[in-house]
A and B are shown apart, each in its own frame.
Chain A
Amino acid sequence: MPTVAELYKKDLDKLLKPGIHFLDGNTATAEGAVTAGCRFYAGYPITPSNEIAEYMSYRLPQVGGKFIQMEDEIASIAAVLGASAAGVKSMTATSGPGFSLMQENIGLGSMLEIPAVIVDVMRAGPSTGIPTLLGQGDILQAKYGSHGDYEIVAYLPANPQEAFDFTIKAFNTAEKYRVVAVVLSDQLVGHMYGKVRVPEFDEIEIVERPKPTVPPDQYLPYDSKYLVPPMAIAGTGYRVNNESLTHTDKGYPTTDKDASFKLVMRLVRKIRENEKEIAEWEEYLLDDAEYVIVSYGSTSGSVRRAIKVLRTQGYRVGLLRPKTAWPFPGWVVENLASRGVQKFITVEVNMGKMYHVVREFSRGVPVEHIPYAPGYIPDPDYVMSNVKKVIEG
């Protein structure tokens, strides 16, 4: 697999240098994108994601990229898809209300199989909620927000280091599978500064979308013999009809049963059949855990602290921290359930989102949610006292 060192040889001195940096999560996200090769950004102002747009407007011109502030979030994601169709890695960033507006075109990106990255710096909702404070309420929306059947990929950074790393991963996954990849950051991760270690450029692997290997007259844009068909770039002579309507391998609209079903199957299979390769998670003190807390993003730091203390008090608790919300590492939950875990406890800043996903895989082991949605992450005391309540019934 090529690395940053090989692919962006002439730009290396313009990239964030390998070594230790101290960055806020939003800037780390933007730098991750630039390192991954993102050269187009379109967005619309929304708190708490603004630092990403501001930083990209300053940073992209330095590396030969382009920035545009569009008239709304719908236009932003449309422009991102357009730019990516023209062969440029592209990104937008937003928060809940803007993410809602983008949903229809997430479906478009999925249907046209255009790689794109959306950073959703989650804030408290519903509606306009509390713009300056955090929420983790967009977890299910990220996967299920657009109509119809499709699959996306979503990462859950817990700190600026992961904001940097996961944004690179998001680009790689988007390109590899020709899907929309979402970085589900949150207000706290976006605004906190933390240590970011940038690896050496020859250690950062970069994935690029599969390219056609056949001449235009033999090329099928949605060739179903592939799970992820090679992608022709606009303007390269392939003269492809890229069709938002349900289409044949050739890209022509169709209402044929077989062709329709085959297409939708492929759109979901390309992620579902690779979920074990894509999904990432962290296990903390799970080996002997009787109670498994499932938590992610900035909230997981508080949970980790709570677990440290609970362990000193004799509670056998551990943390399962999904680093990808989608695909969700459901088999890890299944294995824990089969191993005889007493309970799963979800701790997230919402009234129960990943809770439902854990239940899907818990094989009858009870799952309890600790609801919390005041705009902040729960502190370790809150987590401890509520976990004890769950354990002690």
Chain B
Amino acid sequence: MQQSLDQVRIRLMGLGGHGIVFAGRLLGMAAAMQGLDSILTITYSPEQRGGWSRADVIIAKEMVDYPLIDEADVFLATTQQAFSLEFKSLRKGGIFVYESTIYKPVIPNANDYVVIPVPATEIAENVTGRRLMMNVVLVGVITSALEPLIKEESIINAIRGMTRRAGKLDTTVQEMNIKAFQAGLDYGRKYLKGMG
């Protein structure tokens, strides 16, 4: 409680390997580059392989104080397990995004939430040929819901600036990520327009 609306709290969760942390880093980095403050905390299940991972991003106009999320404004779950474990943390009126080719959640009181099903794996495969880029598609969808707080160009810049231990992503991977992101952004914009 008490995390007021001067902050957006985003909880991303899925299977290890779904690129949940990468997605969180993109959102956090984009916010930081826009002059906002952002904090990302990561939690893993105890298994070294095959467990869930969770990335909580707080984006704020002022400095983030309490760095953890007790209630989410946006919740992304790419697996049934993630949905089952953490759907409860989404506040009423919050945005729920899920990967609709992986599972079909049964959402209690679905009308209390903005629900966005995304066939992200399909979109990623169609646009980039790589199913794995579904995480970036989902970042696109979340961005569409957060605009104009988070801007398209910031995420693109974040993708270009993203480094890994072994250095930057190579340019072709960067471009694929940007395509996947834009496809997700389009999808989200259209979906939200349709709802409006």
Residues of A near any B CB (own CB < 8 A): 20-22, 54-55, 58, 159, 188, 191-195, 298, 301-302, 304-306, 308-309, 377, 379-381
Collect the chain B residues with CB atoms within 8 Å of residue A192's CB: 39-41, 67
- CB pair B66–A304 under 8 Å, yes or no, is yes
Collect the chain B residues with CB atoms within 8 Å of residue A58's CB: 165-166
Q: A54-B165, A305-B3 are in contact. Are A193 and B65 (CB under 8 A)?
A: no
- CB pair B66–A188 under 8 Å, yes or no, is no
Q: Is the interface of B mostly helix, strand, loop or mixed?
A: mixed
Question: Which residue on A lies nearest to B3, using beta carbons?
Answer: A305
CB of B169 closer than 8 Å to a CB of A: no
Q: A188-B67, A379-B70 are in contact. Are A194 and B2 (CB under 8 A)?
A: no
In Å, the complex CA distance between A22 and B64 comes to 14
Which of B40, B65, B68, B70 is within 8 Å of A194, CB to CB? B40
- CB pair A380–B2 under 8 Å, yes or no, is yes
CB of B115 closer than 8 Å to a CB of A: no
Most buried by B among A193, A305, A377: A193
**Which of B27-35, B79-87, B126-134 lies on the face that meets chain A?**
B27-35
In Å, the complex CA distance between A193 and B64 comes to 12
Count B-side interface residues using an 8 Å CB cutoff: 25
Question: Which residue on B lies nearest to A59, using beta carbons?
Answer: B165
Collect the chain A residues with CB atoms within 8 Å of residue B25's CB: 22, 193
CB of B37 closer than 8 Å to a CB of A: yes
Q: 19 additional contacts, CB 8 Å, given A22-B28, A305-B3, A379-B70?
A: A22-B32, A22-B33, A22-B38, A22-B40, A58-B166, A191-B41, A192-B41, A193-B28, A193-B41, A195-B28, A195-B32, A298-B67, A304-B65, A305-B65, A308-B2, A308-B65, A379-B68, A380-B2, A380-B66
- CB pair A379–B67 under 8 Å, yes or no, is no
Collect the chain B residues with CB atoms within 8 Å of residue A301's CB: 64-67
Collect the chain B residues with CB atoms within 8 Å of residue A304's CB: 65-66
- CB pair B165–A194 under 8 Å, yes or no, is no
Collect the chain B residues with CB atoms within 8 Å of residue A379's CB: 66, 68, 70
Which chain B residues numbered 124 to 178 have a C-beta less than 8 Å away from chain A? 158, 165-166
Collect the chain B residues with CB atoms within 8 Å of residue A309's CB: 2
- CB pair B70–A193 under 8 Å, yes or no, is no
Question: Which residue on A lies nearest to B66, using beta carbons?
Answer: A305
Which of A193, A302, A381 is within 8 Å of B40, CB to CB? A193
Collect the chain A residues with CB atoms within 8 Å of residue B192's CB: none
Question: Which residue on B lies nearest to A381, using beta carbons?
Answer: B1
